[in-house]
Amino acid sequence: MLGIPHKDDTLYINGKANDEPYLEEYQNGLRDAGPLTNSFTLKETPVGSEVVPEGHLFVLGDNRRHSEDSRRIGAVSMEKVVGTTNIVYYPVKEIKIISK
């Protein structure tokens, strides 16, 4: 799975726009205007190519403006993944446990 922010804070995963209806409410609550994530391509990140290498992930943090994620550290080897997510807690209206 690959997610790339695009204009107007649209997140594209494998080339398809990802629906994030909660973003508008979140952005309206921010003190400063502007995008949550500047547009970028994989080539402009430490990945340095148009595709994520096989056996690696491009990870994005949930704090889009201030995350130390693949935009700064590059692709992460699958061998370094130590766990999975099983709880969604934001947006609050959509809190849930993800079953396998």
Cis bond before residue 91 (omega within 30° of 0): yes
Domain ranges of the chain: 3-97
Q: What is the pTM of this model?
A: 0.64
CA distance 21 to 61: 18
| Fold held by 3-97 | Umud Fragment, subunit A (2.10.109)
pLDDT of residue 92: 85
Phi, psi of 9 (to 5 degrees): 60, 30
Q: How many CA atoms lie within 13 A of 81 on its CB side?
A: 12
84-96 mean pLDDT: 85
Q: Among 8-12, 16-20, 38-42, 54-58, name the one with the lowest average pLDDT.
A: 8-12
Tokens at residue 42, please? 């994989």
CA distance 68 to 89: 20
Q: pLDDT tens digits, residue range 41-86?
A: 888 899 998 889 999 999 888 777 788 899 999 999 999 999 888 8
